Homo-oligomer: A and B are copies of this chain.
Amino acid sequence: MARIAGMDVLDIRFPTSRELDGSDAMNPDPDYSAAYVVLRTDDGPDGYGLAFTIGRGNDVQAAAIRALEPLVVGRSTPDTPAALAALSADLVGDSQLRWLGPEKGVAHMAIGAVVNAAWDLASRRANCPLWTLLAAMTPEDIVGLVDFRYLSDALTEQEALDILRDAEPGRAERAARIRASGYRAYSTSPGWLGYSDDKLVHLATQAVADGFDMIKLKVGASVEDDVRRLRLARAAVGPDVRIAVDANQRWDVAPAITWMRALAPYDPYWIEEPTSPDDVLGHRAVADAVRPIRVATGEHVQNRVVFKQLLQAGAIDVLQLDAARVGGVNENVAILLLAAKFGVPVCPHAGGVGLCELVRHLSMFDFVAVSGTDADRAIEWVDHLHEHFTDPAVVRGGRYLAPTRPGFSARIRDESLARYTYPNGPEWRDA
């Protein structure tokens, strides 16, 4: 029987702040980074996972992953749904480590990185991409992955089973559709706040020419600038392309409403992160005031308990799952089930380091085996840093292609690891 023989944790940082890629109203100069984990086995492939951060503090994130090593190393490779559920439960349930969250922030993202690495390992050992591994499981096995603690007032195990059983009949046909034509993407690349108007218009036009029917702009630093930029973008793409806007938590409730009313003439599709990701009631107040503009959030939502409330309160119209913010695949399965129960479309957050690579698996699994629909759903696409991955996300004609290689696609190329290790890789040492 194969075992997890060791765990390596690396602090990898890309100097993205030099080009203002990724600049927004709250994050003016991010250095996109990964606290990267390798589960080394004594037989067969290794497993790869990561937590995404934006620079400083990536060492703290790495330390939090290392703190999980005693709970992981020495275990049998988790090759079954039950073993993957047990690993997740053991990490979330450690009573002393739990105090550091519970289930939030650095400690929880560390769990997510390790759980995702375990799923990567399981998929590699099963010789299939993660989305097909998940989509081949029975409803009972999928429900068994989920920690229903704190969810039962909104979603019971029986309700989850019913959702999954309802989606069983069409699985094969939908999986074939994914293989044939992928999953819809939208592009954030035009809209970073640090870009000039000319660059914005050029990139928005290019995105539509490339097949995207939805783009996203960052907003929130200056309402005059945002009105001008949204007007320019709308003129460039025409009335039929969706334009979402993203405030990255910049506002309180009242300014969010005022600002969105100023942007409303240019038909924004959703307002993303209008305020604190912790503010369920604030999101509801914004949503009530800005309809028909949708409210979206999720990249900083800490766990399933907050998503549950956003859904219970009718505070979001779009749920932005993130592959690496919460406790990994297991918790994201819970979140997909919650979204399906409430009938809210999931449009995952991506970009960063590896988030496009990872999250496409979850949306494809959702389409095949959970919600059974892709209506009004699209995965964010940011065309940066994919060259560092061994199984990079590929978007063609505005659609994510289905991954075909075994695993969860989080593996970073060895030469990139060597170059971007912080602070001693040549990219940083020589800067």
Chain B positions within 8 Å of A59 at CB level = 63, 67
* Distance in angstroms between the alpha carbons of A192 and B99 in the assembled complex: 17
**Chain B residue at smallest Cβ distance from A152:** B252
Q: How far is the CB of A8 from chain B (nearest CB, A)?
A: 17
Chain B positions within 8 Å of A31 at CB level = 96
Asked if A99 meets B60 with Cβ closer than 8 Å, knowing A104-B302, A281-B312, the reply is no
Check if A150 sits within 8 Å of B276, measured CB to CB: yes
Question: Would you give the 0/1 interface string for A292-306, flagging 1 where the beta carbon is closer than 8 Å to chain B?
Answer: 000000001011011
Those of A264-298 within 8 Å (CB) of chain B: 275-282, 285
* Distance in angstroms between the alpha carbons of A109 and B279 in the assembled complex: 19
Asked if A54 meets B99 with Cβ closer than 8 Å, knowing A60-B63, A278-B302, A305-B278, the reply is yes
A371 within 8 A of B: no
Stretch at the interface among A21-29, A136-144, A204-212: A21-29
Q: Of B152, B153, B254, B278, which one neighbours A306 at CB under 8 angstroms?
A: B278
Check if A100 sits within 8 Å of B150, measured CB to CB: no
Those of A4-48 within 8 Å (CB) of chain B: 26-31
Q: Tell me the dominant secondary structure on chain A's binding face.
A: loop
Chain B positions within 8 Å of A162 at CB level = none
Q: Of B64, B100, B150, which one neighbours A282 at CB under 8 angstroms?
A: B150
* Distance in angstroms between the alpha carbons of A280 and B381 in the assembled complex: 33
A56 within 8 A of B: yes
Chain B positions within 8 Å of A276 at CB level = 102, 149-150, 305
A309 within 8 A of B: yes
* Distance in angstroms between the alpha carbons of A29 and B27 in the assembled complex: 40
A57 within 8 A of B: yes
Chain B positions within 8 Å of A60 at CB level = 60, 63-64, 67, 100, 106-107
Check if B312 sits within 8 Å of A149, measured CB to CB: no
Q: How far is the CB of A226 from chain B (nearest CB, A)?
A: 19
* Distance in angstroms between the alpha carbons of A152 and B60 in the assembled complex: 32
Closest 7 CB pairs of A and B: A105-B105, A55-B96, A56-B96, A153-B253, A106-B106, A63-B63, A278-B305
- Since A27-B99, A100-B105, A281-B313 are in contact, a sample of 16 more A-B pairs with Cβ atoms closer than 8 Å, ordered by chain A residue number, is A29-B95, A54-B95, A54-B99, A56-B96, A57-B107, A60-B100, A64-B106, A100-B106, A102-B300, A104-B302, A151-B252, A153-B253, A153-B254, A278-B309, A281-B309, A281-B312
What are 25 A-B contacts with C-beta separation under 8 Å? A27-B98, A28-B95, A29-B96, A56-B97, A57-B96, A57-B99, A57-B100, A64-B106, A100-B106, A100-B109, A102-B300, A105-B105, A149-B276, A150-B276, A150-B279, A150-B282, A151-B252, A152-B252, A153-B254, A153-B282, A276-B305, A278-B305, A279-B308, A280-B280, A281-B309
Measuring CB to CB, which residues of chain A are less than 8 angstroms from any residue of chain B? Answer: 26-31, 53-57, 59-61, 63-64, 67, 94-109, 149-153, 249, 252-254, 275-282, 285, 300, 302-303, 305-306, 308-309, 312-313
